[in-house]
Structure 1
Amino acid sequence: MKHLLVVDDDRHLRHLIREALNESGYDTDVAKDATRALQSISSNQYDLILTDMKMPGMDGLELLLKIKNDDPDIGFLIMTAYGTIEQAVEAIQIGAYDFVSKPFPLPEIVTKVDRYFEMTSLQTENKALKQKLSEEQKFKKLVGRSKAMENVFQHINVVADSDATVFVQGESGTGKELIAQAICENSRRSDRPFLKVNCSAITETLFESTLFGHEKGAFTNAMKMHKGLFEEAHGGSLLLDEISEMPLGMQPKLLRVLQEGTVTRVGSAKEIPVDVRIIATSNRDIRKRVAEERFRADLFFRINVAPIAVPPLRERFEDIPVLLEHFLNVFQEKYGCAKRKIGDDALKALIDYDWPGNVRQLENLVERAILFSGDEETLTKQHFSLDLEHLESNGDPEFSGTLRTLAQMEKMLIQATVKKMDNNRTQAAKSLGISTPTLRSKLQAYETEKNRRTVES
């Protein structure tokens, strides 16, 4: 219930106004002058103050100025006689909502109050909408409106503008790298380098050189000086993707850099100061790796300053419709397709599915469905092949027929992509992520197989 205060030296009028407002669902107090109004305001929280302009002692304009100075958001409605309308206009310029001229029918004052709260309600809704749009723009690559993702966004907001080391943990395909990018883009280092390295993709012999650099002649084939990623990322951020796969022998060297803020190139004794914000990710239970002595406990404590846990898709199934809409738009634009929609049977199947490959798997399925749907406007359950996806994700060797099905699906994907690209093999190969000679070889194999079957028949 909204709490109002009516300030007027006319006892009869202020009580009539209170009665009319209370009957309309408001909780209304009264005061006979500005002094008593200020006393009441000091011990109560009011949503709107209705004040007469001409009163003994402090007038309505002075009361407005004093209260607005302490609480700029409180609402004011001025009640004025004809001779003080100029003052009422001045009050509006200062911050009053509106004025009403005396004498007035009581329904008019109630209507003015109702409209004030309708306006403030719209302003609140617009502010919330702008805030939501601002958040969505801030995290435009991260799609999700579930409570689980709101929690992730809140964590990003908290850690982004600090220099704390962030540890992002979640299953494969949940979007850990996108979260790292969002942290970087919303930090003070957003205009500085953001480099990344996959710790599982570098051999142990090259790891130190990759991270810390080397001097000319430091080892065989070190033909020139090479700056490592820490130096290249100076002033910016460095993503250590899948840090749980870092070779055990490299871990104390990384720990030293994090503790001391200096690197030493291979083949040199000179310490080089570096200012780098570290964001690390892992798809494993890193505490288990620590217990197994495959990851150093002291390094784990060092990187786990600001942890962010990314929920798997099966735990935020309410995001699936908005993710589908997002990926449909992405791939419709990519392939120049007509607008597609998801059938009810497909939507139910997609929501019920357990998504072992998470958002990345959903993205791949939507792309495949668009390619295979031809001119069909509605994508059905059959377009998504969820049963096959489940077999693929499990990798069960007992399903010997799966390989043949995958070969058939590869053929369908290649042929559909070539068709979408108007037989432009270079563009088709680029879209498929393979070389043009590889695509040409596969198409020739399909043609040979087709001719063989024609001869046999």
Structure 2
Amino acid sequence: MQLSAGVTQLTSATLRQRLVGESQVIRDVREHIAQAATVNMPVLLVGETGTGKHTAAQLLHEMSKRHGRPFLHRLCLKTFATDFEEELLGIEEGYSRAHPRGKQGLFELSDNGSLFLDKIEDLDLRIQSVLLNVLHDSGSTRLGGTKWHPLDLRLISSTECDLAHEVAAGRFQADLMFRISTLCISMPPLRNRPEDIAPLVTHFLKGFAHYHGVHTHPVSPSAMTLMERYSWPGNIRELENLVSQYATFGDERFIIDHLRAQHEDDPGPFDSIIDTHTPLRLQTQRVMRNLERRIILTVLQANNWNRKKAARTLDISYRALLYKIKAANIPPIRRHSSGLTQKGKS
């Protein structure tokens, strides 16, 4: 499929920012999304948890002619079929005591836009029939109503499993599977693109620094090598969470400990974060900075983030502690009853 120059430029700039990496598999995904965004067919996104299916769904909408129109996301949790039917179809005025004035359903609310049904394999069989009828008729009727509402929406679905297997097991309707998978895009697991780990880490560190207004340190080559060898069962979401911990506390032991926990039977490679490409003086300085930062953080936590008490515990002046906190780029975190929050944010 040939794309116009304008579309190619738009997709290239946007996709590289949102789907980071230069491996062949992620390049293929970006190309497939760019192509699928130009047509109006249902799309099924297939991939493990944390592989970026929600991001892909948003990009499909934002790069299509429907951008600026509604984009609704609904996680298809296993719930009462009646409740989900009401949520999808809406309720006619006077039909329900809970909604005496009626209520629009997701189908109506996403008219002229896109509806993203996440984990569609969890849909109740009866709701599958409702969805199939709506897609076939291009319209819906509210529960308790008789007025037919024509619809112009694009359905984007996602699944973490093989829908053909679900069909064979009697848990998913074959007709619906074929209807929603006119276009199918597979989201690759992170373990299949280890060359993208480094650019993803850099991307997350920059985002963290920009959002929180702090300076972050790059991950050492040795730690990066360990990360590239890790299988990442939680995929990109797991990587982003780990990078956020490292950026907050500035200690690579958070990375090492996380990776070691998944490899308890073979801890050897995780016993050291020595970098064979960096001079001894610089490595020693880095280790000492990390150790001092970790001590300060531990004492702050033990004193409920009361800096004056922490200074007394560390036997240094309050002014010296403030200087070290700033030098170590410790975010201005304070303790609330609900847990740790960024200063100035609820």
Q: TM-score category by the smaller chain? A: 0.7 to 0.9
Shift of 1:381: 7.2
CA distance in 1, matches of 2:163, 2:200: 29
Deviations 1:389-447 (A, max 9, x none): 568xxxxxxxxxxxxxxxxxxx97x9499673342648974569xx97xxxxxxxxxxx
CA distance in 2, matches of 1:366, 1:257: 43
Q: In the alignment, is the contact (CA less than 8 A) between 2:334 and 2:342 conserved in 1? A: no
Deviations 1:329-359 (A, max 9, x none): 1122333332311112211110000110000
Q: Residues 431 and 148 of structure 1: is their aligned pair in 2 closer, same or farther, counting only changes over 3 Å?
A: farther
Q: In the alignment, is the contact (CA less than 8 A) between 1:240 and 1:280 conserved in 2? A: yes
Query: Aligned residue for 1:337?
Result: 214
4+ aligned runs moved over 3 Å, structure 1: 131-134, 379-384, 414-419, 424-432
Q: In the alignment, is the contact (CA less than 8 A) between 1:211 and 1:230 conserved in 2? A: yes
CA distance in 1, matches of 2:96, 2:112: 29
Match of 2:202 among 317, 325, 349: 325
Query: Aligned residue for 1:285?
Result: 162
Matches within 5 A, 1:32-431: 135-200=12-77, 202-373=79-250, 379=252, 382-383=255-256, 385-388=258-261, 415=301, 420-423=331-334, 425=336, 429=340
Given the two structures, how large is their TM-score scaled by the length of structure 2? 0.74
3-state SS in 2 of match to 1:362: helix
Q: Residues 230 and 162 of structure 1: is their aligned pair in 2 closer, same or farther, counting only changes over 3 Å?
A: same
Q: In the alignment, is the contact (CA less than 8 A) between 2:78 and 2:124 conserved in 1? A: no
Shift of 1:364: 0.5
Identity of aligned residues (%): 36
Name which structure has the greater RCO, CA cutoff 8 Å, separation 6+. Answer: 2
Q: Residues 134 and 187 of structure 1: is their aligned pair in 2 closer, same or farther, counting only changes over 3 Å?
A: closer
Shift of 1:220: 4.3
Q: In the alignment, is the contact (CA less than 8 A) between 2:115 and 2:156 conserved in 1? A: yes
Q: In the alignment, is the contact (CA less than 8 A) between 1:342 and 1:380 conserved in 2? A: no
Q: Which amino acid aligns with 2:40?
A: D
Shift of 1:134: 6.0
Q: Residues 139 and 224 of structure 1: is their aligned pair in 2 closer, same or farther, counting only changes over 3 Å?
A: farther
CA distance in 2, matches of 1:352, 1:369: 18
Shift of 1:246: 0.6
Larger Rg: 1
Given the two structures, how large is their TM-score scaled by the length of structure 1? 0.57
* Aligned-pair Cα RMSD in Å: 3.0
Q: Residues 390 and 248 of structure 1: is their aligned pair in 2 closer, same or farther, counting only changes over 3 Å?
A: farther
Q: In the alignment, is the contact (CA less than 8 A) between 1:369 and 1:384 conserved in 2? A: no
Shift of 1:144: 1.7
CA distance in 2, matches of 1:314, 1:352: 8
Count how many residue pairs are aligned between Structure 1 and Structure 2. Answer: 281
Q: Residues 380 and 321 of structure 1: is their aligned pair in 2 closer, same or farther, counting only changes over 3 Å?
A: farther
Q: In the alignment, is the contact (CA less than 8 A) between 1:349 and 1:381 conserved in 2? A: no
CA distance in 1, matches of 2:108, 2:16: 28
CA distance in 2, matches of 1:388, 1:347: 17
Q: Which amino acid aligns with 1:385?
A: H
CA distance in 2, matches of 1:134, 1:272: 33
CA distance in 1, matches of 2:9, 2:221: 28
CA distance in 1, matches of 2:171, 2:18: 33
CA distance in 2, matches of 1:356, 1:138: 24
Q: Residues 180 and 295 of structure 1: is their aligned pair in 2 closer, same or farther, counting only changes over 3 Å?
A: same
Query: Aligned residue for 1:72?
Result: none
Query: Aligned residue for 1:21?
Result: none
Matches within 5 A, 1:19-38: none
3-state SS in 2 of match to 1:278: strand
CA distance in 2, matches of 1:200, 1:279: 16
Q: Residues 152 and 202 of structure 1: is their aligned pair in 2 closer, same or farther, counting only changes over 3 Å?
A: same
CA distance in 1, matches of 2:332, 2:162: 43
3-state SS in 1 of match to 2:17: coil
Q: Residues 313 and 429 of structure 1: is their aligned pair in 2 closer, same or farther, counting only changes over 3 Å?
A: same
